[in-house]
Structure 1
Amino acid sequence: MRIGTPKEIKNHEYRVGLVPASVMELTRAGHEVLIEKGAGLGAGVSDAEYEAAGAKIAPDAAAVFSDAEMIIKVKEPQAEERARLRRGQILFTYLHLAPDVAQTRDLMKSGATCIAYETVTSQDGGLPLLAPMSEVAGRLSPQVGATALQKEHGGRGVLLGGVPGVAPADVVILGGGVSGSHATAIALGMGASVTVIDRSHAALRRLSAQFGGAARTLFSTAATIADHVANADLVIGAVLIPGAAAPKLVTRAMLATMRPGSVIVDVAIDQGGCCETSHATTHADPTYVVDGVVHYCVANMPGAVARTSTFALNNATLPFALAIANKGWRRALLEDAHLRNGLNVHDGALTCKPVAEAQGLSFTPPEKLAA
């Protein structure tokens, strides 16, 4: 199979879909790999390293999209990239379609077979291709929140860990999954006072066992969220419903109860955000203020640490990329129900039920198309 990786063009996105080690594995399996010139520079990978691993360097994105049978990316294809997709081509990347009607429409129109990292599952019920970036985003969230709390960035002027004689910041984390647990670890490490709110008893028990009494754990209700958001210096939204739009847990009314200069970091913004006042921002302009509350809603947070993120992502995606390339998408999906869950769009049909429900579109079971 001919596999292509273009340079990411989303604002301040420096990650890349394949690293040289992945290229070497694919070429050793008999596949041809095309890498757009300069695609890996943001992650510290040169064209020469790709060539040494067996890749061919394509002059531009147009050449990659026109020649490749499978496109491996990181972020969802932008409008100009979607226009280059064609029927029969495979797209393997993050999509996050639920809140993105325009992307869904364009992918269906393209006729391409689109497999989303974020809905591939594992035997234990996890999301193995989303987990690495959730870990990165979770670990970044207290860091960017601490910066936003600084006075010059519009925050309250509160140090996350406090100092002797002055209380640390109150951090409230909504969601105790992968992002939430990693955010908890870093926030505690920075000396903050941390409360995690989740409606999964299993998650709360896991967090309690992991952190002991260092982090408070609370069962999620609207009243609990409202009470603790009102007193928080930093709220980290880390809720996830696989494939679906994030629930709006922080309402506009709750913002009025928060202290001026407090901060919301909405890690769930890829799926539409868990705050009513959230809208996607970029690394170039990461924050905005609503009712005195600073919002950080960068939709590609892991892009800030592109090298770490790129290598972590490739560690997870490579086995699936090899399966698709070696077997073809249809056989690979038929033999692996977890990879089949990643199929979101095929030849104009929408195959991810949460996306169909979010957008009011008809749903076709992926196993029907794979068969």
Structure 2
Amino acid sequence: MLIGVPKEIKIGETRVSMTPSLCRRCVSLGGNVVVQKGAGESAGFTDAEYRAAGAAIATTAQKVWRSADLILKVKEPLEAEYGHLREGQTLFTYLHLAAGAELAKVLLKKRVLGIAYETVEGVDGQFPLLKPMSQIAGRLAIQIGAYFLQSQHGGSGVLLGGIPGTMPGHVVVVGAGNSGAHAVQMAVGMGARVTVLDLDTRKLEALDIEYRGRVVTLMSNPANIELAVASADLLVGAVLIPAAKAPTVVKKKTVAKMRPGSVIVDIAIDQGGCIESIHPTSHESPTYRQHGVIHYAVPNMPALVGRTSTIGLTQATEPYVAMLVQKGVARALAEHKGLARGVNTQDGKITYDAVAKALGYS
């Protein structure tokens, strides 16, 4: 098997899908690896390190895509990459097809076997390849929110931790999954007042126990959301339904009640976002203002910390990549139900129910 590692081209993307360590593992299992020149530089990995690990270095993306049986990426292919895709190829990456109808059409037309990181399941029914990026995005959401709350960025000038004699900033996190829980952790660590909302009482109970009452936990319903968001200095949207389009849980009329200069960070933007007033932004132009509120919605947020994100991601993907190399794609999918759950497109069809429903194929 020949594994291709193209350089990511999404704006501001600094991650790479394979470290030299993972490359060495693939080569030891009998795989061949071709890495595009400079693919790992933004994450701190040089071409020389990949060569030493047994990879060949290709000068162009076309050479990587044209020759590889398995394309290993971080982000979904962009329009400029659609022409590289070909029938019989396997693509292993974050696909987020529920918010990517055009890419879905291309994958179906070209009969690409698309395996999505975000729907691969572990033995516990969790999503091990989504987890590290969700953790990073959750932590970054607070860091980013604190930055844009600063007066020189047009924010309300609130210091999340406050000082003695002043009220600390109020952080509201909607969704208590991986990303939401890590957002809560960072916000509490900075000394903010924190309110978290979720539909799952078990998650709320776990956070209440962990923080011993320092965090206000509320059931996620329209009344509680409206009450909490109206007083938020920083609102973090962290609602996830795996592979499906994120539900809209915060309405525009609720956002309009926030104080001017408040900040929204929507981690769910990869899946369409969970806040009605949100639309995707980029690292080059990360924010916009609506209703006087600063909105941040960069789909590849973890690229802000490319090295940490790359290491975290590839540590999670390594067992699955190794399985594909060692056993071949067909056998690996047949023998590992969790990896097979990652298949979103195959033989010109959408094979994951939530994606098919979101795109109108079911």
Could you state the TM-score of these two structures normalised by the residue count of structure 2? 0.99
- Matched residue type, 2:291: D
User: What is the match of residue 53 of structure 1?
Assistant: 53
- Matched residue type, 2:256: A
d(CA) in 1 for partners of 2:223, 2:348: 43
Q: Deviations over 1:224-269 (max 9, x none)?
A: 1011001111100011001100110111111221111111100000
Are 2:98 and 2:359, in contact at CA under 8 Å, matched by a contact in 1? yes
Secondary structure of 1:106's counterpart equals helix
d(CA) in 1 for partners of 2:313, 2:251: 33
Are 2:30 and 2:325, in contact at CA under 8 Å, matched by a contact in 1? no
- Matched residue type, 1:112: V
d(CA) in 2 for partners of 1:350, 1:289: 37
User: What is the match of residue 309 of structure 1?
Assistant: 309
Q: Which deviates further from its counterpart, 345-354 or 207-216?
A: 207-216
d(CA) in 1 for partners of 2:60, 2:44: 19
Identity %: 52
d(CA) in 1 for partners of 2:175, 2:114: 28
Could you state the TM-score of these two structures normalised by the residue count of structure 1? 0.96
d(CA) in 1 for partners of 2:162, 2:177: 27
Are 2:243 and 2:355, in contact at CA under 8 Å, matched by a contact in 1? yes
User: What is the match of residue 178 of structure 1?
Assistant: 178
Q: Deviations over 1:112-167 (max 9, x none)?
A: 10100000111222110000000100110000000111112121111111111111
User: What is the match of residue 282 of structure 2?
Assistant: 282
User: What is the match of residue 271 of structure 2?
Assistant: 271
d(CA) in 1 for partners of 2:66, 2:39: 17
- Matched residue type, 2:139: R
- Gaps (5+ residues) in structure 1? 363-371
1:245-256 equivalences under 5 Å are 245-256=245-256
User: What is the match of residue 88 of structure 1?
Assistant: 88
TM superposition shift of 1:108:
1.1
d(CA) in 1 for partners of 2:82, 2:316: 24
Are 1:197 and 1:225, in contact at CA under 8 Å, matched by a contact in 2? yes
Secondary structure of 2:212's counterpart equals helix
Secondary structure of 1:213's counterpart equals coil
Residue 191 of structure 2 corresponds to residue 191 of structure 1: yes
User: What is the match of residue 74 of structure 2?
Assistant: 74
Are 2:65 and 2:84, in contact at CA under 8 Å, matched by a contact in 1? yes
Q: Over the residues paired in the alignment, what is the CA RMSD in angstroms?
A: 0.8
Are 1:70 and 1:91, in contact at CA under 8 Å, matched by a contact in 2? yes
TM superposition shift of 1:191:
0.8
User: What is the match of residue 335 of structure 1?
Assistant: 335
User: What is the match of residue 127 of structure 2?
Assistant: 127
Q: Deviations over 1:166-193 (max 9, x none)?
A: 1110000001110011111111111100
Are 1:83 and 1:110, in contact at CA under 8 Å, matched by a contact in 2? no
Secondary structure of 1:265's counterpart equals strand
Q: Which deviates further from its counterpart, 342-351 or 19-28?
A: 342-351
User: What is the match of residue 220 of structure 2?
Assistant: 220
TM superposition shift of 1:82:
2.1
d(CA) in 2 for partners of 1:209, 1:125: 24
Q: Which deviates further from its counterpart, 13-22 or 251-260?
A: 251-260
Are 1:15 and 1:42, in contact at CA under 8 Å, matched by a contact in 2? yes
d(CA) in 2 for partners of 1:286, 1:110: 33
Secondary structure of 1:83's counterpart equals helix
User: What is the match of residue 114 of structure 1?
Assistant: 114
d(CA) in 2 for partners of 1:33, 1:208: 47
TM superposition shift of 1:216:
1.3
Secondary structure of 1:344's counterpart equals strand
Are 2:248 and 2:273, in contact at CA under 8 Å, matched by a contact in 1? yes
User: What is the match of residue 136 of structure 1?
Assistant: 136
Are 2:169 and 2:192, in contact at CA under 8 Å, matched by a contact in 1? yes
- Matched residue type, 2:350: L
Q: How many residues align?
A: 362
User: What is the match of residue 353 of structure 1?
Assistant: 353
User: What is the match of residue 368 of structure 1?
Assistant: none
Deviating 4+ runs (over 2 angstroms)? none
d(CA) in 1 for partners of 2:320, 2:299: 24
Are 2:188 and 2:194, in contact at CA under 8 Å, matched by a contact in 1? yes
User: What is the match of residue 365 of structure 1?
Assistant: none
d(CA) in 2 for partners of 1:107, 1:277: 30
Secondary structure of 1:134's counterpart equals helix
Are 2:117 and 2:130, in contact at CA under 8 Å, matched by a contact in 1? yes
User: What is the match of residue 369 of structure 1?
Assistant: none
d(CA) in 2 for partners of 1:148, 1:339: 39
Q: Deviations over 1:251-297 (max 9, x none)?
A: 11112211111111000000000011111111111000111111000
d(CA) in 1 for partners of 2:201, 2:332: 35
- Gaps (5+ residues) in structure 2? none
d(CA) in 2 for partners of 1:287, 1:133: 21
Secondary structure of 1:194's counterpart equals strand
